[in-house]
Amino acid sequence: MNKLIESLIPIPVAAFGAWLGYLTGFPLGDLIGAICAVTALSKLGVRMRMPYPFVATVQLLLGISVGSIVTASMMRELTDFSILVGLLICMTTQIFVGYNWLRRMEKWGHIESLLGSIPGAMAAVMTVSGEQGPASGRIAFVHIVRLLALLAVVTIIAGGHADSVAPALGTLDNWLSVIPPAIAAVLAGYLLERFDVPAPYMLTGLLCTAAVNVGFPEANLHVPDPFAVIALILLGGLIGIRLKDITFKDVVRYIRAGLVVTALTFCTTLLVAFVMSKLTGKPFLTLFMSWVPGGVEVMTAAALLLKLDPAFVMLNHVVRMSIIHVSPVFLPKRLFQEQPAPLPQPQTEP
């Protein structure tokens, strides 16, 4: 089959699956529907691929979406270093316990264990793993299981309110205001790509959009929801293609791994939130909702329902997402090699 056709097939299939998933009304039903549709077609023997330009588009849209949430008032809130320190301690502990379980008990490779243990931001993790080596479906599967499990827990805590919201098309001004930072992000991302920077468009999209929001607050930058819909469809295709070789036996193992990592993440967050609550005087439940992995919108909505200082909760999740999106730049390239090349041995004279 022609490579162009193989590249185009996942898009309408993922879009159709996302539409069916959205009709179910389940939280994240559109993403799960897109993944299931592409995976099912792959299982039927239809060859599909997701070329790098599509992955770069997901990176760009993710970076722009996260950057558009950053505001000048959020930056001022970060002067309270206890917030950042507590978040970093919690994230580090979450990654540490998840990594060690996947590495030691599930016998995963070190990069798969690292990417599988990162708290939240499945989309960011998948674009990085697709670019930097082991494009294993097990990473996607563990993140999906954890995402659904945590979403269920948060929905229960919030009293069962997790209704899907119809995407807003946005105004013409919203669309026009995104164009300049998007163009700047593409140009800057292309330059970073020349230097082999991981996930370059995700980084530049975040920085360029955040710079506009912080430097020019009167611009009132708001990313229209169709940007997220496009990213979701492409991400569903990307993940679905990676799940095509997973067997039923693999599914059982990966569900177990995902549930264990989720439980470890949940317990770690409870512990760190309890300790930091005693040290800082912040309400325990507010810290827990701020540091447990989850989508910015879902966690902020849950905080509103529970009257838990939604601005503080949103700030922590935006910072967490920003750290995860930016961190690949600071990781050494050798980290993304399952078996790093041995160092050259010094030659001895005869």
Separation CA 93–CA 85 (nearest Å): 12
- Predicted local distance difference test score (pLDDT) of residue 157: 62
Q: Is residue 191 situated within a structural domain?
A: yes
**Structure-token pair, residue 182:** 């998007």
Written as six digits, the tokens of 324 are: 């995860």
Task: Write down the pLDDT at residue 48.
Answer: 86
Instruction: Give residue 183's pLDDT.
Output: 93
- Asked whether residue 177 is domain-assigned, the answer is yes
267: tokens are 């317990």
Is 121 among the domain residues?
yes
Q: Is there a domain that residue 241 lies in?
A: no
At residue 223, the pLDDT reads 78
Tell me whether residue 263 is exposed, middle or buried, using C-beta atoms within 10 angstroms of its C-beta: 0 to 12, 13 to 18, 19 or more.
middle
Give which of 333, 14, 60 is closest to 188, Cα–Cα: 60
Per-residue pLDDT of the chain (350 residues; tens, 9 = 90+): 577 788 888 899 999 999 998 888 776 778 888 989 998 998 888 888 888 788 888 888 888 888 888 877 777 776 777 778 888 999 999 999 999 999 989 888 888 888 888 887 677 777 766 543 334 678 887 888 887 777 776 666 655 544 555 566 767 777 888 888 999 999 998 998 887 777 788 888 888 998 888 888 777 777 787 887 888 888 888 888 878 777 788 888 888 888 898 899 889 999 999 999 988 888 888 888 888 887 666 676 667 666 777 778 878 888 888 788 777 666 655 554 444 434 444 444 44
Q: Strand, helix or coil at 289?
A: helix
| Rounded CA separation 92/118 (Å) | 9
Residue 340 lies in a domain: no
185 CB contacts (<8 Å, ≥6 apart)? 60, 63, 64, 201, 204, 205, 207, 208, 209
Alpha-carbon distance 3 to 200, whole Å? 25
Tokens of 257: 């791994």
Q: Per the domain annotation, does 29 fall within a domain?
A: no
In terms of residue numbers, what domain contains 81?
A: 53-158+168-223+251-332
Nearest in space to 68 (alpha carbons), one of 190, 227, 195: 227
Whether residue 341 lies inside any domain: the answer is no
Angstrom CA distances, 216 to 68, 72, 189, 315, 343, stand at 12, 9, 22, 19, 49
Domain count for the chain, please give it: 1
Query: Is 228 part of any domain?
Result: no
Task: Identify the pLDDT of residue 76.
Answer: 73
CB 254 within 8 A of CB 246: yes
